[in-house]
Structure 1
Amino acid sequence: MGDLFAIDWGNATGTLRWNHLYNNKLFGNTSLIYSQYDYQVEVANGSNQFSLKSSINDINLKQEFSYFPNPKNAMRFGVNVIHHSITPRTRTATGENSSINNTHDPDRRSYESAIYVTNKWQPVEKFTVEYGIRLTSFAVMGGSNYYTLDASQNIVDTLKYAKNQVVQHYFNAEPRLSMAYVIRPDMSIKASYTRNVQNLHLLSTSNASTPNDRWIQSSNIVRPELADQVALGFFKNLYDNAYEFSTEIYYKAMQNQIDYKNGADFTYSDNLETQLLFGKGRAYGAEFLFRKKTGLLTGWIGYTLSRTEKQIKGINNNSWYPAKQDRTHDVSVVGIYKLSPKWTLSGTWVYNTGNAVSFPTGKYRIDGTVFFNYTERNGYRMPAYHRLDLGATVQFKKRRNFEADLAFGLYNAYGRANPYAINFEQSTDDPSVTEVQRVTLFKYVPYVTYNFKF
C-alpha cells in the first residue's frame, strides 16, 4: 500500500448451542452468539495522517423449533433478539505533525427482535409450496446524541435520550412465498417472492481513491432499507444426472436506499447523517449454472448478468446511476479432481466487471490548494477483477473417532494485480500535472490449513 493508506479488518465470534429432541415431531435449537467486526483504514497524506475505525458488536439469542405435524408439512418457527452496539467512527491522529483532531462518535445501540414461522407444504408429489412471515422490531436506543435536520440536511435541533429510552421504533413484516413444480423427474421450475428488511447499513464511498467504509444503524433519520424480490427459475438434469443446468431471472425493488450527497465530507464531518441522501434502488438480472456431478473430475461454471442501480434526488441530476456494487458480468469456473483416494486437486477462476466509481473530470485551485471536480456519480469503472486459485488436499488415514486432512494452495496463482484503489495526486515535479496511482492489495498468497474432527 506504500505510504498512501493501510487497511485492517477482522471478525471474532463465539457460539453456544443446545439442541433438544422433544419427540419424533418436535426439535428445538437454542443459540447464543457473540460477534465483533472491526474495520480500520489508516491514511497518510501530507499533514493529514490519521486512522478511521468502525466496529459492530452483536449479542444474538435465537430459539428455533422444527415441527413435522404430518408427512406433507414441515414447519420452522422461533424468536430472535439481537443487541447491536455500533461505533460509526473513531478518528485518531497517527503522525507527530498530523493536523487532524481526535474524535469518537458515540456508540449507537439498538435491539433487533423478530418472530417468524415458515411451512413447507407438499400437497402432491410434484408440487411444493413454502410460505411464511417474519415480523421484525427495531428499537433505536438512547445514550448518544440524535438530531433533527431541515430540508438542506442542516442540524436544527440536538435530541438527548437516556440509555434506556427508545429514540425510534420500526416495525416491519417480511413475507415470503416460493413454489416448485416437477414437470418430470429431470426437470422442474420454481417461482418465489421475498421481502427483506435491513437495519444495519454499510456506507461506501464511490471515490476510487478513498477506501472508507462505515457502518451505521437505522435511526430517527436513517430508515430501514426494504427490498422486494421476485424470481423465476428452471432446473434440468442431463445424461442420467451426470450433469445439471439451472437458470434464474430476478427483479428486486428497493426502498430507503442511502448514499453520500454531492461534495460530502465523509472523512472529517462529525455528523455523518448530515452528509446523506435517500432514495430508491433496483436490481435485475439472470443467473446460469452448469454443473458436472460425477466422475473423477467434477465442478461447475456459473455466470451472472446483472444491473444494480439507485435513484436519489440530488445525485446525478436525479437520474438512475449504477450502485458501487453493480457488476455487469460475474463468472466463476470451479474444477475438482480426485487424483487418488487420499489426494484431491482443485482450481477456481473468477472474473467480474470492475466496481462502478466516480473519477474526477476536472480540477480547480483555491488559495494554492488543488481540488478535484466530480460530475457523474459512478460513471466510470475500475479495471476488471479476475484471479486463479489452486489447491490440494490430502486425507490422512482415519482412526477411531478421529479424522484429519491437510489443505494447501496458492491464492491468485498468476499474480493478477487487481486494483483496490486508484489515487489522483499532483506531480511533485510539476504541480499542474495530475498523476494516477494504482494501488493493489495482494498478489501471490500461499495458504496451509490443517482440519481435524474427533
Structure 2
Amino acid sequence: MKAFILSITISLYFFSFSFAQQITLSGTVRDASSGETLIGASIKVKENASGVSANSYGFYSLSLAKGRYTIQVSSVGYTMQERAVELSGDLRLDFSLEPANQLETVEINAVSSREQIESPQMGVNKISIKEVNNVPVLFGERDVLKTIQLLPGVLSAGEGNSGFFVRGGTTDQNLILLDEAMVYNASHLMGFFSTFNSDAIKDVNLYKGGMPAQYGGRLASVLDVNMLDGNNQRFGMDGGIGLIASRLKVEGPIKKGKGSFMLSGRRTYADLFLKLSSDTSVNSSVLYFYDLNLKANYQLDQNNTLYLSGYFGKDVLGYANDFDFDWGNATGTLRWNHVFNSRLFSNTSFIYSDFKYNVGVYTDNNDLKINSRIQNLNLKQDFHYFSSSRSNLRFGLNLMRQEISPAGIDASEESDINSLRIENRQGYELAAYLSHEWKPSNRLSFIYGLRLNSFLLMGPGEFNTYDSEGDIIQTDIYGSGKLVKSYINPEPRFSVNYMLNENSSVKASYNRNTQNLHQLTNTTSSLPTDAWVLSSNNIKPQIADQGALGYYRNFNDDQYEFSAEVYYKDMQNQIDYKNAADLQANAHVEAELVYGVGKSYGLELFMKKRTGRLNGWVSYTLSRSKRRFDEINNGNWFAARQDRIHNIAIVGMYKFSDRWSFSGTFVYYTGNAVTFPSGKYSIGGKSTWYYTERNGYRMPDYHRLDLGATLESKPGKRFKSSWTFGLYNAYNRKNAYIIDFRENENDPNVTEAYKVALFGIIPSVTWNFKF
C-alpha cells in the first residue's frame, strides 16, 4: 500500500511539473432550466480542437497556454454555447446550457456523437432516459433494465424478466449501483419489473468491457445509475397513472441556485383488484410493490457541495392467512464534492446498502419463518486530477464491510419442523486504484491503470473445510475480529484507441476483475431467495481476464454510428452445484458446491441512427459461454445456462408530428441451455426421471414484437400531459417460459413434453403529466 501511495505522489509531481506553464480553465456545466449537472458534457477549444468531458458531477478542467480562445460547450439535447475568453491566469468559468427544441431532431443516446470513436474506453453504453421512455415494455412500465437488454452483448434472463447476462456472465456477476450504493436484487415481482423508477433517474452507464479501475467487485459488468439532483430553479411535479402502477415525482429548490431536493414514488395496486373477488382467500391476499427515491443537495460554496440520497423499495406477497413473502432494498449515500484547486477534484462517499427477505408459512402445527439479510457499509475516497487537456489521473481508496445473515428457519414450538440457525458471515474488502488517461497524439490515446483488491474473511464463527466429496475434514473456531482467510488480487486495466481517420478508429482492451460475493442459484433468473456467500477457506475469489478488439465508425456527419467488437473472457474459480444439491437453509451449503473454470467469447455488431424523425438501432450478438467442472459431465465442457448463440434486437422510433410518436422493438434469441431428462426408470412402481448431461438441451427459440405510441399535449402550456399506448407481444407469440414432462394420460409408458407460456398479447395505457 505504501508503494501504491508513493506511485500516486510521484505521478502527481511529474504531471504538475510538466504542465506548470499552462493556465487552467475549470468550472461546472449545468442545465439552465433545472440546475442539474450535465455528466459528460463536451468542452472544446475552437482554435485547436482540444477538449475534455465533464466528470460525473459536471466538473471540468482544461489546461491551455496564455491567450484568447473560443470555448464551445455542448451536450446531447442542449443548445451549444460558445464563449470567448482571455486567459492570463487560472479562471473559473461555469456554463448553463439551454435545452434544445427537439421537435424535428431527436437524439437517442446521451453520449457525445464522437465519443465512441475518440475515447479509448471500450464496451461502454451510455443510455438517456429519453431512450428508456420511448421503448415499449411490459405493462407500459418504463424500465432501465429492459432497455439495456436491447444492446449488444446484453441478454435477457427470460420472458418479462429484468435480470440480464453480460458477455457470458451470470446475473450476480453484474455490479448494479444506484448513486454509488450496491443494489443486490434489482427486481420487483420476481423479476418482471426493475427497482429503477425512470422518473428519478438522470444518467445510466453500462460497462461491459475495459472496465475503469474505479469499479471492482464483479466479473461481467457495471451498471452505474445516477439519480436526478432535483430542480434548483423552480418547483415542479410530474408522474403517471397506468393499468397496474402509478408514480409521482416532486422536486424544487431548497435555496434557488444553491440547493434542491427530489422525491419520487411508485406503487402497484394489483392488491386492490383482489379485493373485488368473492373468494375470501383471494380478497384477503396481498400483491404489490413500492419504490421511494429521495435526494437533496446543497452547494456550501464554490468548492464544496453536499449530496444526500436514498432508495427504499419493497415487494409484498401473501395468500390469505397461509403464506406471506416480502423482500426489499434500502440504500443511502452521503457525498461530499470538494474542489481543491482548478485541477484536483475530490469526492468522498459514505454508503449503506441493505437487502433482506422474510418468508412466513402458516399451516396446522407447522408455522415457520425464514429470514435472510445482506448489509453493506462502504467508505470511498476518489480523486480526479486534470494534469492537462491530454492527461488526467483518477485514484482512490475503498473500504467496504459486508455481512450476510443466511436463511435460517424459525419454527413454532408446536411445529414438526426443527428450527435452524446459521451463523452470520462478515468480510472486509479494501481496494486502491490508479488510472491514467493519456492522449500522446491526435490519433493515439490510452487508459491504463491498476486496482489492488484485498479481501478479509473475519470471525466470529465456526468454519468448516470440506473435501471434494463434501465431507468435513477440519473445523476451526474463530473469535470476533479474528482473521479467518485473506486474498489479495491485482487487477490490471488497459485500453488503447487509434484513430484511422476523422471518422473511424480501432480499440483494444484487457482487464482483470475479481469477485468475493457469490450468488448460489439453480435458475437462470435471480430470485429474492437465492443464497449469497462470501469468499472463504473453501470458496476462492472468482477471477476473469477479458480481452477485446473493436472497430468504430461514424457516417453522414455523425448521424449514423457503427461498431463491431470481439471479445474473449477466461474465468477461474467458477461456482456451480452438485446434482440434487440443497442450496436453501443449509448450514453446510459450501459442501454442495463444485469449482471449475469458464470461458466466453463472441462478436457484437451495433448500427444506430442517431437523429431525425426516424431513429433507432439494430444490434446482433453471436456468443458462446461454457463451463467445465471435474464433477459434472465427466469433466467435459458444457454450455452455461445463460449460453445463447444468436441474439438480435431491432429498435425503431418515429416522430410523426409535434404530438404523435411511434416506437417498436423486435427481439429474437436462441433458447437457453437447459437440463432435460433423457429417460426414466421405475423403482418400486414409481417412475423416476433419468438425467445424463448438464445443460445438454435447448429451450425453443424466442421472438417477440412490441409496439408503442405516445400522444403529447399541445405545446406551449405550463401543464403538460401525454398518453402512452403499448402492445407487448403484438402478434401473440406463445414463447415457452418452461418446458416440463409428464406421462401421457392414455399410455403411462409414453412421456410427453409440454410448454408453459407466460404472456400472450398484453395492451397497456398510461397517462403521464408534468407541471
- TM-score higher than 0.5: yes
Q: Using a 3 Å threshold, how does the CA distance of structure 1 residues 321 and 127 change in structure 2: closer, same or farther?
A: same
Structure 2 residue aligned with 1:281: 598
2-structure distance, mates of 1:381, 1:242? 39
Structure 2 residue aligned with 1:12: 330
Aligned-pair CA distance for 1:132: 0.5
Q: Using a 3 Å threshold, how does the CA distance of structure 1 residues 85 and 416 change in structure 2: closer, same or farther?
A: farther
Partner of residue 353 from structure 2, selected from 8, 21, 35: 35
CA contact under 8 A between 1:54 and 1:215: conserved in structure 2?
no
**What secondary structure sits across from 1:124 in the alignment?**
coil
Structure 2 residue aligned with 1:379: 696
2-structure distance, mates of 1:416, 1:102? 46
Which shows bigger deviation, 417-426 or 78-87?
417-426
Which shows bigger deviation, 310-319 or 51-60?
51-60
2-structure distance, mates of 1:196, 1:313? 24
Aligned-pair CA distance for 1:9: 5.9
Aligned residues: 446
Please tell me whether residue 306 in structure 1 is matched to residue 627 in structure 2: no
CA contact under 8 A between 2:327 and 2:528: conserved in structure 1?
no
Q: What pairs up with 1:10-89 in 2 under 5 angstroms?
A: 10-38=328-356, 55-89=373-407
2-structure distance, mates of 1:98, 1:239? 72
**What secondary structure sits across from 1:294 in the alignment?**
coil
Q: As a proportion of its length, which structure holds more helix? A: 2
Rg (Cα) greater in structure: 2
CA contact under 8 A between 1:253 and 1:281: conserved in structure 2?
yes
2-structure distance, mates of 1:81, 1:72? 31
CA contact under 8 A between 2:602 and 2:622: conserved in structure 1?
yes
Amino acid at match of 1:67: Y
Aligned-pair CA distance for 1:74: 1.4
CA contact under 8 A between 1:344 and 1:394: conserved in structure 2?
yes
Q: Using a 3 Å threshold, how does the CA distance of structure 1 residues 423 and 246 change in structure 2: closer, same or farther?
A: same
Which structure has more relative contact order (CA 8 Å, sep 6+)? It is 2
1-structure distance, mates of 2:397, 2:339? 18
Amino acid at match of 2:516: N
CA contact under 8 A between 2:521 and 2:583: conserved in structure 1?
no
Q: Using a 3 Å threshold, how does the CA distance of structure 1 residues 41 and 252 change in structure 2: closer, same or farther?
A: farther
Please tell me whether residue 140 in structure 1 is matched to residue 454 in structure 2: no
Q: What pairs up with 1:158-173 in 2 under 5 angstroms?
A: 158-173=475-490
1-structure distance, mates of 2:491, 2:461? 30
**Identity percentage of aligned residues:** 46
Partner of residue 412 from structure 1, selected from 715, 723, 728: 728
Aligned-pair CA distance for 1:165: 1.8
Structure 2 residue aligned with 1:232: 549
1-structure distance, mates of 2:736, 2:454? 40
Q: Using a 3 Å threshold, how does the CA distance of structure 1 residues 348 and 104 change in structure 2: closer, same or farther?
A: farther
CA contact under 8 A between 2:520 and 2:583: conserved in structure 1?
no
Structure 2 residue aligned with 1:120: 437
2-structure distance, mates of 1:384, 1:98? 46
Q: What pairs up with 1:286-301 in 2 under 5 angstroms?
A: 286-301=603-618
Aligned-pair CA distance for 1:283: 0.5
CA contact under 8 A between 1:49 and 1:93: conserved in structure 2?
yes
Q: Deviations over 1:212-256 (max 9, x none)?
A: 743222111000000001110001112232211110111111100
2-structure distance, mates of 1:105, 1:126? 58
2-structure distance, mates of 1:8, 1:174? 38
Aligned-pair CA distance for 1:381: 1.6
Q: Deviations over 1:25-67 (max 9, x none)?
A: 11112223333335689999xxx99997654332222221111
Q: What pairs up with 1:281-430 in 2 under 5 angstroms?
A: 281-341=598-658, 344-367=661-684, 369-392=686-709, 408-410=724-726, 412-414=728-730, 415-424=732-741
Q: Using a 3 Å threshold, how does the CA distance of structure 1 residues 343 and 32 change in structure 2: closer, same or farther?
A: farther
Measured on the aligned residues, the alpha-carbon RMSD in Å equals 4.0
Aligned-pair CA distance for 1:99: 7.2
2-structure distance, mates of 1:398, 1:15? 38
2-structure distance, mates of 1:238, 1:162? 64
Aligned-pair CA distance for 1:343: 5.1
CA contact under 8 A between 2:398 and 2:430: conserved in structure 1?
yes
Q: Using a 3 Å threshold, how does the CA distance of structure 1 residues 296 and 74 change in structure 2: closer, same or farther?
A: same
Partner of residue 192 from structure 1, selected from 498, 509, 517: 509
Q: Using a 3 Å threshold, how does the CA distance of structure 1 residues 123 and 36 change in structure 2: closer, same or farther?
A: same
**What secondary structure sits across from 2:478 in the alignment?**
coil
**What secondary structure sits across from 1:13 in the alignment?**
strand
